[in-house]
Amino acid sequence: MKRNRVSAITAGAALVVGSTLTLMSPAVAADVNPFDPTFVPNTTDDLVGVGSDTTQIVTHDLAVAYNAGRASGRLASFAADGTPATVTLRSGLAAITRPNGSGAGKKLLYAPDNNANVSFARSSSTLSPAEITGGLKQAAFAVDGLQMAVSASATNAPADLTIDQILKIYKGEVTNWSQVGGRPGTIKALIPQSGSGTLSFFTSQLTAANGGIPFTPVATSTQEHSDADVKGDPNAIAPFSSARTTITSTVAALGGWKATRAVYNVVRTADLANATVGARLTNVFGEDGWICGPDGRAVIEKAGFEQLASTEDGGACGQFVTDPVSNLKTSDQADAVVTTTTLAASAPGQRTVGLRATVGTGGGAPAAGKVEFREGDALVGTAFTSGGVASLTLTGVSVGTHQYTASFVPTRVNDFAPSQSTVQQVVVKTPAAVSVTGVSAPYGKAKTVTVKATVGGAAATGTVRVAVGGGAARAYTLSRGTATVSVAAATPAGSLRVTASLPGSASVDAASGSATLRIAKAKGAVTAKLVKAKVKASQRGVLRVAVKPAGVPVTGKVTVKVGSKVVGRGVVRNGKVTVKLAKLKKGTHRLVVAYGGNGNVTGAKAKVLKIKVTR
């Protein structure tokens, strides 16, 4: 995968949210943080939030848009890092140390560090057991990615890194970029500061890649999503929010590994139960709240995140829960064309299964993507759609009952929605096989055809049905898996198709086999005999002619010539014909008797006969 170069946020995005987005480094005017509220929140109905660095910019932008035209009941979100080092949460209160990160923000919502002046905490990680016990709930609102980031101006890192390569870097097993396909250079691995939600999520990904075994990363702590330790350093690498990489030109996101996660706003369960405070919180963060609505979506997407789909559209935006949100369906996906996947499964025999998935779009353009075929939870194969159809043939499938499903995975989730078929069941039977071999012989001689049948590799028993040529099939008994079929000597010459079949059963495949028996023309042989070798000129000579092969019907015509003159003709029936010759002149004549042949027998000539004609 190519490295994705990121750029500064567009001017259009800045205009929508009413603020100018800058680099993540705190290079701003003294004591002014661009992502703090421009007002001091009141002590009555303003909602005040602190916490995650990952979502500080998007939440600031949401607050600016939400607060337009409001003098109270506003949304106030304080940045996680930068100057000043302290923040004044509400009017008339003493300043506190700026809470830096998801964990630091959430701590202010429950004992022993509970601060009643904090209404919500931004979080890029899900609730911990301690936070759940502390009475917190989280409402997811957007999807973010986590990727590895390097300096955009120069880096020794390769264009892509796998999770296995990243794991080895953070375990200290890979220390030079040349070990993973990059240019020589000692790797400077960076990791977010303690309490960071990104740190929590990243280490959970590393632990999973390490077989579930936790370890202490070999890395230097840095402020999450700050470019200060990355830009200009060709050997630096750090985990970065995909959305945050889109608002600075000093870092570049590497290809390869990328994880997705929900990002949250966290509140107290007790506050939700309070009629007044709960209404304020749900009106902003809840399922039908402003952030999960169309105005919130515009801001979220301009900040590089993807808004989670509403619960009405099958999403999880704004649901107050304690468990991690795994339903990452986005609003873009909710806009996608709804699809249906229908699976047809067949077991045609020989331990094969045919799977054909049809992805419907309600009459629209064919869905583009792939279909994953599964037996239970096991993936058995994948096929790309063509014209909305994907097909797969499985071979070597075990005998027995199998259940399959097909899941459509769109190429672009914003164009087509995924869908899954119902379970389809097929029975794979014991395979059977039939072979046919024949011994060819010419017309006039009996032929034999041998049929062999097996079931599961062993000799079959019972009967096999055999059809010779276009004749009706007859049953033949198998002996040790073999049956012999006789073909009559009188069977006409030519190509004869012989087909044998086993009917099959509930547990055994039907099977058939065929062969072509080639019957050649018989070689004709003609014998001729004069009834009288001496006749008078006033008489007609008589010839008796026989045409072989004998024992089978032979037809055709016989011609008798003296020189080039035909002196007699006859039609052969059952291999014989009597020919009366024309009257001949006095003298001795040589008679040439020729059989013209037919479809089954070749032509032939008899030995020359002599007939003597007297006065």
Q: Based on the number of CB atoms within 10 Å of its own CB, is 56 exposed (0-12), middle (13-18) or buried (19 or more)?
A: buried
Half-sphere exposure of 380 (CA within 13 A, CB side): 21
Q: Quick: pLDDT tens for 129-149.
A: 999 999 999 999 999 999 999
C-alpha separations of 87 from 28, 37, 66, 284, 568 in Å: 16, 10, 21, 23, 132
Q: Which amino acid is residue 131, in one-letter code?
A: E
CATH class given for the domain over 144-260: alpha beta
What does the pLDDT read at residue 495? 92
Domain ranges in the chain with CATH number 3.40.190.10: 7-143+263-331, 144-260
Nearest C-alpha neighbor of 152 from the set 261, 260, 236, 257: 236
Provide the mean pLDDT of the chain: 92
In the sheet with 494-502, reading across from the earlier edge strand, the strands are 474-477, 463-468, 494-502, 511-519
E strand map for 117-268 = 120-123, 136-151, 160-161, 188-192, 220-222, 236-241, 251-253, 255-256, 259-268
Query: Please, which residues have CB within 8 angstroms of residue 247's CB and are 6 or more apart in sequence?
Result: 6, 8, 9, 21, 24, 57, 303, 304
Distances (CA, A) of 535 to 544, 588, 610: 15, 10, 11
The pTM (predicted TM-score) of the whole model is: 0.57
pLDDT digits (tens, 9 = 90+) for 544-594: 999 999 888 899 999 999 999 999 999 999 999 999 999 999 999 999 999
CATH number for the segment(s) 525-614: 2.60.40.10
- Quick: pLDDT tens for 257-289: 999 999 999 999 999 999 999 999 999 999 999
Whole-number Å distance between alpha carbons of 33 and 79 = 7
Find, among 358, 377, 355, 380, the residue nearest to 369 by Cα.
358
Q: Give 7-143+263-331's CATH code, choosing from 3.30.70.330, 2.60.40.10, 3.40.190.10, 3.30.230.10.
A: 3.40.190.10
pLDDT surpassing 90 at residue 35: yes
Q: Quick one: pLDDT at residue 440?
A: 82
Contact 316, 365 (CB under 8 A): no
CB 389 within 8 A of CB 373: no
Residues forming CATH 2.60.40.10 domain(s) in the chain? 340-428, 432-519, 525-614
Asked if the peptide bond before residue 431 counts as cis, ω within 30 degrees of 0, the response is no
Q: Does the domain spanning 340-428 belong to CATH 3.50.30.40?
A: no
* DSSP per-residue letters across 340-400: EEEEEEEEEETTEEEEEEEEE-TTSSPPPEEEEEEETTEEEEEEE-BTTEEEEEE-SPPSE
**Per-residue pLDDT at 15 exceeds 80:** no
* Dihedral angle of Cα 179, 180, 185, 190, to the nearest 10 degrees: -120
pLDDT in tens, 430-487: 999 999 998 888 999 999 999 999 999 999 999 999 999 888 999 999 999 999 999 9
Give the pLDDT band (50/70/90) at residue 205. very high
- How many Cβ atoms are within 10 Å of 407's Cβ, its own excluded? 18
Q: What is the pLDDT of residue 144?
A: 93
- Percent of the chain at pLDDT exceeding 70: 95
| 609-614 and 534-536 beta bridge pairing | parallel
Tell whether the model's pLDDT for residue 540 goes beyond 80.
Answer: yes
CATH of segment(s) 432-519:
2.60.40.10
29 pLDDT exceeds 80? Answer: no
Distance between CA atoms of 223 and 241, rounded to whole angstroms? 13
What are the CA-CA distances from residue 52 to residues 79, 199, 225 (Å)?
8, 11, 10
Question: Minimum mean pLDDT among 5-14, 242-251, 471-480, 530-539: which range?
Answer: 5-14
Q: How far apart are CA 444 and CA 324, in angstroms?
A: 86
pLDDT value, residue 26: 40
Q: What is the mean pLDDT of residues 396-424?
A: 93
Distance, CA of 150 to CA of 176 (rounded, Å): 14
| pLDDT band at 412; cut points 50, 70, 90 | confident
Give tens-digit pLDDT for 509-522: 999 999 999 999 99
pLDDT one-digit tens code per residue, 164-184? 999 999 999 999 999 999 999
